[in-house]
Structure 1
């Protein structure tokens, strides 16, 4: 018989988007905006504001998704505030919602990465199943819009933020870290592959190569998909940072109003926007605890299955347009949910930092990528807004409403961190867990290590750390800065003689414009490496008299 003390259920959800342009002194701090969405989640669970306050005070644990805001705050002025506002964000959040004496060992925080919010839910669900905790508050935010606005005003703005956001705590103990941490490799950093907008266009071009399409045709297709995303954002103005429906042509063209090249073939409208003020929170507890708290079963959302995987480093992947980790994640989450197949999934929110992130998930999991309105519940990171690692928690909040309104249906959340490095997924439904798992005695999470070994032992490409000679381009991008000016060309390819993988860059403006004006996939390039810096550069004999 299934033990209700071991079955996690989502009982309350809340999200909030602060109005763009809110004055600095009126804007919510990171802790305050998370506390607000926690209260919204409590009210969602209890249908009463006052009951929600009592519910929050009795939560066992607090788990916070790492934010880019926190990292930016810690940078020295003028890039940041030069100090963290709290040594322990989960502890500060617990204090803000009325939890007294929250033990240090029940303060959890992830590392950075878009997979983090779903991975954190998977981890907290397992803790409930193991009876380590009975309930947990999961929250996250970004308030980069307010922070950057303050920093733009110099020390005066920074001082205002320091005073308003500071959260002193008696204890300086840092939270318990949850999940995998990804560190960029030396070769990636040297060649600029530690910034998403420089890496995802490389995946996009490799994907285009696999489809044998021109840049124009391929990016119009991708822009049609993202036009659907923008339509969903426009239909949800309360929660969207950019609630404007955009045509495929507007998204694809660097010359449309407000648009520009960012990382060829991506324009600004293809890209996630992190400078937002957004938060989302959920309350999870065991079935038994939910019954003790008197929370209506009409609120309960079950996590029927989950999975977490890690991909090989970018430059060692045999195919840059595929993701074995996503494929295995999909296989394992479907298996864990015990619902038969992905055909049972009615609602989806696919992590959407760039078009390729959606296309690869669709390819690996067998979804049709053409209609973007069926792949997001929020509008995605470029249009709903991309509150960093916490985005997928917004997707879950939106999914909860869909599932409650359509009892018995199933929904999928996928989350992607780094450069297709870290993946997490969850399948949810109002259908009780014992219906899909009739022989289970407790809720269970398959240990990710049991299938991660399949990925770790998979094939990989040999990488040349000091490439020299002729090579063939597998994929390429041109990085832009400012108003859309060419800044750096990047190619990934294989050396003709050894077939070792290489990455190389160029700062030649003429060459970068050639890369944008003609097909560069399969191009022959000469590669050389500076023995002092270890940076590889490329050149080509192409002559284009029109440039």
Structure 2
């Protein structure tokens, strides 16, 4: 019988510091969450047996050796492995997946996965003009192991998630045939539902249930960011939050004396990437990688989507949730919750570590409902990197056989996709787009992905005058026909109509 991996403890902390006196560093938050996880397992001394300390990439204030310093802070076993990840909101679930396989093989015995951010405290420090008395800061491990953007994407402003996810959103609207007003109403309802979950979550940063109009209505505290999103439809990063998980094999959990009712099993999992560059995607309203990863995870769990009691779909922006919902096969309007935390705009968006919180919250829910299964997704970069986990308190049946992820990834990578136009010129149309706004509410740029008449794709910028902006925000801009021109001096493309 396979010695299956189990989550034996989870800890979360949200620190609403009112002043610098209450500020806590990410290292301090992680250490406290690790202790909370051990207490949650009912074995406060368990941290001394941890032989694998894994830290999710920290954006706000990473010490020089995050995993090593956390290990020392919690008294983990000397000589154990220390892992610090690259960036990506998929990484917590991916770490769980990889640790689970190694636990079953006996390569490690007890794993601590943790992460934290302190962007709120950094903001307090900046406002006060006072430095934080924290250990030295390091930028190590901030990047991917390969470039995340093609040069044309960077040049035309398709770089930041706050610009790109609205482009996914507009592509989804056009694909579904929704009007601008219908779409606005759907976004408002999305925010109202997610914020209501956050309002009931003691670990959430915002504990207020918003109305649809409060989500989409533009005002002094809710400016337009990039069409069609307002500020309240974006992940909120200025939080001080930490979370930690303790994972063990069943045999180690028994040896530690962790009560059986505390165990939560990983029934199925997968992690895959979509075509790496934004410019390579087959379209901007679907994700083959999420669809494939979900099928593999469900197959491993011998489960169906209809058998999931709840979900936590990564929610940096509404388009991320809608893309995942469609890819996984959750029916539109399904009454089952799509978040157990409240989502990144309302629970909080602690950098790359949000999914450690969603797993911890899911585990607590499933302990109270032993017969249920829950599905969690992680997402990194521009709907690029994906991870899926299916959890339940009851022991999985079958042989717990992980999927062939290498083969699945090769199939995704081999998918055909539109060719890029090197120096596009001539008649063209908009495939998707956004209008980016400055803090004063004025349009700053239009970012356009378009198609030539022969199907080749290009990135471009467009006009920002009132007439043209109305064409993109008051009416459907996807499919709008015009002309694209290439400027050899700047290397930039411009689309006009």
Report the TM range for the smaller structure's normalisation.
over 0.9
Equivalence for 2:222: 259
**Residue 118 of structure 1 contacts residue 414 of structure 1 at CA under 8 Å; is this kept in 2?**
yes
Residue 55 of structure 2: which of 48, 64, 86 is its match?
64
Given the alignment of the two structures, is residue 9 of structure 1 paired with residue 18 of structure 2, yes or no?
no
Q: Please state how far the C-alpha of 1:183 moved relative to its aligned partner.
A: 1.7
8 Å CA contact 1:226, 1:372 repeated in 2:
no
**Aligned equivalent of 2:22, options 20, 26, 29:** 26
**Residue 355 of structure 2 corresponds to residue 355 of structure 1:** no
Match of 2:327 in 1: 364
Aligned residue number for residue 257 of structure 2: 294
Report the Cα offset of residue 373 of structure 1. Answer: 6.9
**Native 8 Å contact 2:462 2:496 kept in 1:** yes
1:100 CA displacement: 5.1
Would the aligned equivalents of 2:86 and 2:143 in 1 still touch at CA under 8 Å? Answer: yes
Q: Distance in 2 between matches of 1:120 and 1:132?
A: 14
Aligned twin of 1:535:
492
- Superposition pairs for residues 151-190 of structure 1, below 5 Å? 151-154=126-129, 157=130, 160-161=131-132, 163-166=133-136, 183-190=148-155
Q: 2:284 aligns with which of 300, 317, 320?
A: 320
1:449 counterpart = 2:401: no
How many Å separate the matches in 1 of 2:210 and 2:481? Answer: 38
CA distance in 1, matches of 2:465, 2:240: 36
Cα deviation 1:355-386 (Å, max 9, x = unaligned): 11111111111113436871100100000011
Pairing of 1:180-329 with structure 2 (within 5 A):
183-236=148-201, 238-255=202-219, 258-312=221-275, 313-329=277-293
Aligned mates of 2:49, 2:143 — CA distance in 1: 22
Q: TM-score, normalised by structure 1?
A: 0.86
Q: CA deviation at 1:405?
A: 0.6
Q: 1:295 to 1:448 in 2, by over 3 A?
A: same
Alpha-carbon contact 1:225-1:370 (below 8 Å) kept: no
SS in 2 for 1:69: coil
Could you tell me how far apart the structure 1 residues matched to 2:216 and 2:335 are?
15
Deviation at 1:325, TM superposition (A): 0.8
Contact 1:362 1:368 in 2 (8 A): yes
1:39 matched to 2:35? The reply is yes
Report the Cα distance in structure 2 between the residues aligned to 1:194 and 1:69, rounded to whole angstroms.
Answer: 20
Helix, strand or coil for the counterpart of 1:240?
Answer: coil
Q: CA distance change for structure 1 residues 182 and 276 in 2, over 3 Å: closer, same or farther?
A: farther
Aligned residue in 1 for 2:302? 338
5+ residue gaps, structure 2, are none
Q: CA, structure 1 residues 369+89, in 2 after alignment: closer, same or farther (shift >3 Å)?
A: farther
Aligned-partner Cα distance in 2 for 1:249–1:465:
43
The 3 A distance-change label for structure 1 pair 17 and 181 is farther
Partners of 2:327 and 2:160 in 1: CA distance: 24
Query: What residue number does 2:78 align with?
Result: 101
Which residue of structure 1 lines up, in the alignment, with residue 465 of structure 2?
509
SS at match of 1:305: strand
| TM-aligned CA distance change 1:60 to 1:140, over 3 Å | same
User: Do structure 1's residue 92 and structure 2's residue 69 form an aligned pair?
Assistant: yes
Q: 1:486 aligned to 2:412?
A: no
Q: CA deviation at 1:244?
A: 1.0
Q: CA deviation at 1:292?
A: 0.7
Q: Structure 1 pair 286/414, CA: closer, same or farther in 2 (3 Å)?
A: same
Distance 2:332 2:235 in 1: 18
Q: Are the counterparts in 2 of residues 59 and 99 from structure 1 also a CA contact under 8 Å?
A: yes
Matched, 1:136 2:111: yes
Within 5 A, what are the aligned runs for 1:415-454? 415-433=378-396, 436-437=397-398, 440=399, 443-454=400-411
Measure, in 2, the Cα distance between the counterparts of 1:248 and 1:472: 32
Q: CA deviation at 1:151?
A: 2.8
Shift of 1:508: 3.0
Equivalent position of 1:545 in the other structure:
none
Quote the RMSD (CA, aligned, Å).
2.1
Q: CA offsets, 1:31-84, max 9 Å, x none?
A: 0001111111111001xxxx41x21122111001112224xxxxxxxxxxxxxx
Specify every segment of 5 or more residues in structure 1 that has no aligned partner in the other structure, as ranges.
Answer: 71-84, 541-547
Q: Please, which of 458, 467, 477 is the counterpart of residue 424 of structure 2?
A: 467
- Pair 1:182–1:410, CA change in 2 (3 A): farther
How many residue pairs are counted as aligned between the two chains?
495
Q: Give the secondary-structure state (helix, strand or coil) at the position aligned to 1:412.
A: strand
Contact residue 170 and residue 433 of structure 2 kept, 8 A: yes
Distance in 1 of aligned mates of 2:232 and 2:336: 16
Partners in 2 of 1:192 and 1:148 — Cα distance? 26
- The correspondence of residues 63-82 of structure 1 with structure 2, limited to 5 A, is 63-70=54-61
TM-score, L = length of structure 2: 0.95
